[in-house]
Structure 1
Amino acid sequence: MWKTALQPRWIAGLVFAIVVSGVFVLLSQWQFGRSTQPEVPVSPTTEEVKDLTGLLQPGEFFRGSVADQMVTATGSYDAAKQVIIPGRLKSGKTGYWVVSAFAVDGAPALKGAAVSPKTWIPVARGWVADPAEAEDPPSGTIRLTGRLLPSEAPVPGTAPAPGQASAVSVAELINVWNVSSYPAFVSATTEISGTSDVGAAAAVGGLEPLNIGAQPPPAKVNWLNLFYSVEWIVFAGFALFVWWRLVKDDYQRSLEEHEDSGHAGPEPTQPNEIQQKVQP
């Protein structure tokens, strides 16, 4: 069969089948990519800066509709209420997030026996490579602008070192700082004191801005496109199967022709010729 397959016409047929299969595979990849694309792009409204106190209330459930929203608030930091979060990546390097407690002016105070007079929110001010580079937050009244993010879950089974926390977890930080807090945190983009920028972008030390963008919505699987991607793979295999089947049929046909030519006997003798041979 290999002799048949190596004939020029079947080699050309194999090249054609491979090209067709390659096109089908590319179509399959395209359909598979479309099957996992997010149906809804990132909402541009998250980039509109809104007032924190009018968007989210302390003590209420954090709504997914306000996640990634750019917010602004006026308040002040407490240098005694600052932690660093280890194991944070930036530009391929592992370092620390610097997270400070920010007292929000105009925020409603929670009610209860263990609440604090002011309502606070954790602010991830920036990233440092070395804990020694985590300087105190700016003092005085600060106009904060940043991205509102949901509270992280604390890392179980860990005992953070003094001055550290396992995650930007509101549940963990309120026990460290003994404050009432919003159910979220802010990734700072700008911190303005008067007319001066005192944020990470203007810091002279090792503090670097986080630059956290809005997260795209989770991708939804489009089952129809996924089915098409599998279908194109089947077509690619079928193209090669058709070539193999044609080669096999040609090979079987050549075997039959060879057998017919090998078993063919001498031509029958005509009756007149037989009579002439038997006469004396």
Structure 2
Amino acid sequence: MSAPHPSFRSVATRPRWIGVLVLCIAVAGVFALLGQWQIERAVQQGRGDDRDTESAVPLTSVAEPASTLTSEAGGRMVSFSGSWVAEDFDLLEGRKQDEERGTWLIGRVLVDRADGEPVSLPVALSWFADHDAAEALLADLSPSDGSVDLVGRLMPTEDPAQGDIRDGTSEAMSVAALINQWDEYNDLVYGSYAILDEASAAASGALVDGAEPIVSLRPVTDTQLNWLNVFYAIEWVAFMLFAGYLWYRLVRDAREREVEALEDAEAAAADAGQASGDEQRR
């Protein structure tokens, strides 16, 4: 009578394979954590800009002189007080607004600080479709004397445009280029510029006939998921499932080896019995 073959369950519940199961579960748990981390990164990188950028905050609370604009400060409405530098108003060509190219009127404000040392801040005041109208305003502009209160959207400095280099014109709002044109510059400047809101531009006399407020939209970020991170997360899930499948295959292979050993033993015993019977008949 042949011995009963071991079942998958009887093999799987042996201490050895229970230990292997615990190890595979631990490995699968690590893979699950890595997959969760990848998903969190994908969602975080795809999250929109939920900052309150439209409520003006003091410029000094979000920006420092001679520092690059941080992601927290970029695109925010800021308030500041300072005095105009009458000699540093200028025009920038090729500025696009509503799919039309025109001219910006720009200037420099010496922003007041608690230590009494003012910091230069480039500002953009208004946009003109007609360049001649912009030149006429530039010639007649009489900014207010003394300190003025202004509000604008803080923007990162721009790199010089091809036209700036090729034609010697001014197109980019480049802080580095502007400081080379300013008079009585004290080496203190913000590494960004502000686009004045309509009220500030109007109070500065920059919205005469032919001038329009510069359209400055709140910053918008790409809200698409990072699909590369999603793909990595799927890979970690596949590895997690493979850890469970590996345990199953190890147990199944162990059972099959035992069954084969039993069958071989039974076959050998049968062959030995047959050989003994043949010998006795002789």
Q: TM-score, normalised by structure 1?
A: 0.55
Q: Does 1:218 align with 2:222?
A: yes
Q: Does 1:53 align with 2:60?
A: yes
Q: Does 1:66 align with 2:61?
A: no
Q: Does 1:170 align with 2:178?
A: no
Residue ranges of structure 2 left out of the alignment (5+ in a row) = 1-41, 232-282
Percent identical pairs in the alignment equals 30
Match of 2:7 in 1: none
In structure 2, distance between residues paired with 1:108 and 1:172: 27
Match of 1:123 in 2: 123
Residue 218 of structure 2 aligns to which amino acid in structure 1? A
Q: Check 1:89–1:53 CA distance in 2 against 1; reply closer, same or farther (3 A cut).
A: same
Contact 1:119–1:181 under 8 Å retained in 2: yes
In structure 1, distance between residues paired with 2:178 and 2:68: 17
Contact 2:47–2:224 under 8 Å retained in 1: no
In structure 2, distance between residues paired with 1:81 and 1:204: 19
Superposition map of 1:255-266 within 5 A: none
In structure 2, distance between residues paired with 1:48 and 1:170: 25
Match of 2:86 in 1: 79
CA offset digits 1:23-54 (Å, max 9, x no partner): xxxxxxxxxxxx99x83233241112101122
Q: Check 1:222–1:129 CA distance in 2 against 1; reply closer, same or farther (3 A cut).
A: same
Superposition map of 1:181-196 within 5 A: 181-192=189-200
Q: Check 1:127–1:148 CA distance in 2 against 1; reply closer, same or farther (3 A cut).
A: same
The structure whose residues are more often helix, as a share, is 2
SS of the residue corresponding to residue 65 of structure 1 reads: coil
Shift in Å at residue 161 of structure 1?
7.2
The structure whose residues are more often strand, as a share, is 1
Shift in Å at residue 166 of structure 1?
3.0
Contact 2:62–2:72 under 8 Å retained in 1: no
SS of the residue corresponding to residue 88 of structure 2 reads: strand
SS of the residue corresponding to residue 158 of structure 1 reads: helix
Q: Check 1:105–1:153 CA distance in 2 against 1; reply closer, same or farther (3 A cut).
A: same
Match of 1:246 in 2: none
Q: Check 1:137–1:148 CA distance in 2 against 1; reply closer, same or farther (3 A cut).
A: farther
Match of 2:144 in 1: 139
Match of 2:238 in 1: none
Residue 103 of structure 1 aligns to which amino acid in structure 2? L
SS of the residue corresponding to residue 197 of structure 2 reads: strand
Q: TM-score, normalised by structure 2?
A: 0.55
In structure 1, distance between residues paired with 2:208 and 2:120: 27
Contact 2:54–2:77 under 8 Å retained in 1: yes
Q: Check 1:96–1:83 CA distance in 2 against 1; reply closer, same or farther (3 A cut).
A: same
Residue 184 of structure 1 aligns to which amino acid in structure 2? S
In structure 2, distance between residues paired with 1:155 and 1:144: 28
Match of 2:160 in 1: 154
Alignment RMSD: 3.2
Q: Does 1:205 align with 2:212?
A: no
